[in-house]
Structure 1
Amino acid sequence: MAAVLAFTFRNWRGHRAIVAAIVFTVAVATISEVVIPIFAGRMVDAVTAGVDEASDAWWALGAMLLLAALAVGCRQLFFYGITVLTTRVMAFVARDAFARLQRFSTDWHANNFAGSTVRRITRGMWALDMLHDTLLVAILPSILVLLGSTWVLGTVWPALGLVVLVGAIGFVAMTVLLSVNYVAPAARLANSWDTRVGGALADAITCNAVVKAFGAETREDDRLAKVLGKWRSRTTRTWIRGTNAGTAQNAFLLLLRTAVLGFVLLLWMRGQADAGDVALVLTSYAIVHGYLRDIGMHIHNLQRSVNDMEELVTFYDQPMGVRDQVGAPAAEIGAGRIAFEHVTFHYGGHAEPLYRDFSVEIRAGEKIGLVGRSGSGKTTFVKLIQRLYDVNGGRIVIDGQDIAEVSQASLRASIAIVQQEPILFHRSLAENIAYGRPGASLAEIEQAARLANAHDFISALPKGYATMVGERGVKLSGGERQRVALARAFLADAPILILDEATSSLDSESEHLIQEAMERLMADRTTIVIAHRLSTVQAMDRILVFDKGRIVEEGDHASLIRHADGIYRGLFERQALELAKGWAA
Structure 2
Amino acid sequence: MSPVRPRRENAYRGVLAFVFRQWRARLGLVAGLVAAITCATLADVFLPLYAGRLVDALAEADRDAALRAALPAFGAMAALGVAHIGLRHVAWSLVVPLTLGTMADVARAGFHRVQRLSTDWHANSFSGSTVRKISRGMWALDGLNDTLLLALLPSVVVLLGTMVLLGLHWPAMGVVIGLGTLAYVGTAIGLATRVIAPAAQLSNGWDTKLGGTLSDAIGNNAVVKAFGAEGREDARLSGILAKWHKRTRRTWMRVTWSVTGQLGVLLALRTAIVGVALWLWWTKAATPGDVAYVLTTYFVVHGYLGDIGQHINHLQRAVNEMEELVALDAEPYGVADRPGATALAVTGGAIRFAAVTFHYAGHATPLYRDLSVTIPAGQRVGLVGRSGSGKTTFVKLVQRLYDVTGGHVRIDGTDVADVTQASLRENIAIVPQEPVLFHRSLAENIAYARPGASAAAIERAARLANAHDFIARLPKGYGTLVGERGVKLSGGERQRVALARAFLADAPILILDEATSSLDSESEALIQQAMERLMRGRTAIVIAHRLSTVRSLDRILVFDHGRIVEDGTHAALIHRPSGQYRALFEIQAAVGA
With the length of structure 2 as denominator, give the TM-score of the two structures.
0.97
The one of 65, 71, 89 equivalent to 1:58 is 71
**Aligned position for 2:294:** 281
Written as runs of structure 1 = structure 2, the 5 A alignment for 1:104-123 is 104-123=117-136
- State whether structure 2 residue 33 is matched by structure 1 residue 22: yes
| Unaligned stretches of 5+ residues in structure 1 | 581-585
> Which one-letter code corresponds to 1:36 in the other structure?
L
Shift of 1:400: 1.4
**Aligned position for 1:583:** none
> Which one-letter code corresponds to 2:397 in the other structure?
L
- State whether structure 2 residue 48 is matched by structure 1 residue 37: yes
Distance in structure 2 (CA, Å) of the matches to 1:318 and 1:270: 65
Distance in structure 2 (CA, Å) of the matches to 1:149 and 1:457: 77
The one of 500, 505, 509 equivalent to 1:492 is 505
SS in 1 for 2:425: helix
| Unaligned stretches of 5+ residues in structure 2 | 1-11
> Which one-letter code corresponds to 1:15 in the other structure?
R
**Is 31-40 or 261-270 further displaced after alignment?**
261-270
**Aligned position for 1:260:** 273
Shift of 1:319: 1.3
Shift of 1:150: 1.1
> Could you give the per-residue CA deviations for residues 542-568 of structure 1, whole angstroms, max 9, x where no partner exists?
000000100000111111111111111
Distance in structure 2 (CA, Å) of the matches to 1:493 and 1:80: 51
Distance in structure 2 (CA, Å) of the matches to 1:481 and 1:316: 34
Shift of 1:53: 2.2
The one of 69, 87, 90 equivalent to 1:77 is 90
**Aligned position for 1:230:** 243
- State whether structure 2 residue 516 is matched by structure 1 residue 516: no
Shift of 1:200: 0.3
SS in 2 for 1:83: helix
Shift of 1:328: 1.1
> Which one-letter code corresponds to 1:517 in the other structure?
A
Distance in structure 1 (CA, Å) of the matches to 2:157 and 2:417: 55
SS in 1 for 2:59: helix
Distance in structure 1 (CA, Å) of the matches to 2:299 and 2:515: 75
Shift of 1:272: 1.8
Root-mean-square deviation (Å): 0.8
- State whether structure 2 residue 443 is matched by structure 1 residue 430: yes
Shift of 1:327: 2.5
> Which one-letter code corresponds to 2:545 in the other structure?
H
- State whether structure 2 residue 94 is matched by structure 1 residue 94: no
> Could you give the per-residue CA deviations for residues 118-139 of structure 1, whole angstroms, max 9, x where no partner exists?
0000000000000000000000
**Aligned position for 2:157:** 144
Distance in structure 2 (CA, Å) of the matches to 1:206 and 1:536: 32
The one of 248, 256, 279 equivalent to 2:261 is 248
SS in 2 for 1:544: strand
**Aligned position for 1:8:** 19
Written as runs of structure 1 = structure 2, the 5 A alignment for 1:552-567 is 552-567=565-580
SS in 1 for 2:352: strand
Distance in structure 2 (CA, Å) of the matches to 1:34 and 1:455: 74
**Aligned position for 1:375:** 388
**Aligned position for 1:341:** 354
Shift of 1:334: 2.8
Shift of 1:266: 1.4
Distance in structure 1 (CA, Å) of the matches to 2:429 and 2:59: 89
Distance in structure 2 (CA, Å) of the matches to 1:382 and 1:219: 38
**Aligned position for 2:312:** 299
**Aligned position for 1:504:** 517
Shift of 1:55: 1.7
**Aligned position for 1:394:** 407
**Aligned position for 1:549:** 562
Shift of 1:237: 0.2
Runs of 4+ in 1 over 3 A off after TM superposition: none
**Aligned position for 1:467:** 480
The one of 322, 328, 340 equivalent to 1:327 is 340
> Could you give the per-residue CA deviations for residues 236-266 of structure 1, whole angstroms, max 9, x where no partner exists?
0000001111111000100010000011011
**Aligned position for 2:144:** 131
The one of 164, 182, 194 equivalent to 1:169 is 182
Distance in structure 2 (CA, Å) of the matches to 1:235 and 1:205: 24
> Which one-letter code corresponds to 1:457 in the other structure?
F
With the length of structure 1 as denominator, give the TM-score of the two structures.
0.98
Distance in structure 2 (CA, Å) of the matches to 1:317 and 1:331: 28
> Which one-letter code corresponds to 1:481 in the other structure?
R
The one of 33, 41, 49 equivalent to 2:60 is 49
The one of 379, 403, 424 equivalent to 2:416 is 403
Shift of 1:56: 1.9
> Which one-letter code corresponds to 1:274 in the other structure?
T
> Could you give the per-residue CA deviations for residues 190-219 of structure 1, whole angstroms, max 9, x where no partner exists?
000000000000000000001111111111
**Aligned position for 1:181:** 194
Shift of 1:511: 0.5
Distance in structure 2 (CA, Å) of the matches to 1:251 and 1:21: 36
The one of 331, 335, 358 equivalent to 2:371 is 358
SS in 1 for 2:408: strand
SS in 1 for 2:511: strand
> Which one-letter code corresponds to 2:212 in the other structure?
G
SS in 2 for 1:49: coil
SS in 1 for 2:401: coil
Shift of 1:351: 2.1
> Which one-letter code corresponds to 1:253 in the other structure?
L
**Is 490-499 or 260-269 further displaced after alignment?**
260-269
Give the aligned length. Answer: 580
> Which one-letter code corresponds to 1:343 in the other structure?
V
Distance in structure 1 (CA, Å) of the matches to 2:344 and 2:288: 83
Shift of 1:174: 1.0
Distance in structure 2 (CA, Å) of the matches to 1:487 and 1:110: 27
> Could you give the per-residue CA deviations for residues 125-163 of structure 1, whole angstroms, max 9, x where no partner exists?
000000000000000000000011111111111001110
SS in 1 for 2:145: helix
The one of 211, 214, 219 equivalent to 1:201 is 214
Distance in structure 2 (CA, Å) of the matches to 1:185 and 1:194: 14
**Aligned position for 2:5:** none
Shift of 1:270: 1.9
> Which one-letter code corresponds to 2:469 in the other structure?
D
Shift of 1:317: 2.5
Distance in structure 2 (CA, Å) of the matches to 1:218 and 1:325: 50
**Aligned position for 2:430:** 417
Distance in structure 2 (CA, Å) of the matches to 1:199 and 1:88: 28
> Could you give the per-residue CA deviations for residues 321-355 of structure 1, whole angstroms, max 9, x where no partner exists?
21111221100013100000111111111121111
> Could you give the per-residue CA deviations for residues 4-62 of structure 1, whole angstroms, max 9, x where no partner exists?
00111111111111111011001100001100111111111111114122122111111
Distance in structure 2 (CA, Å) of the matches to 1:321 and 1:76: 46
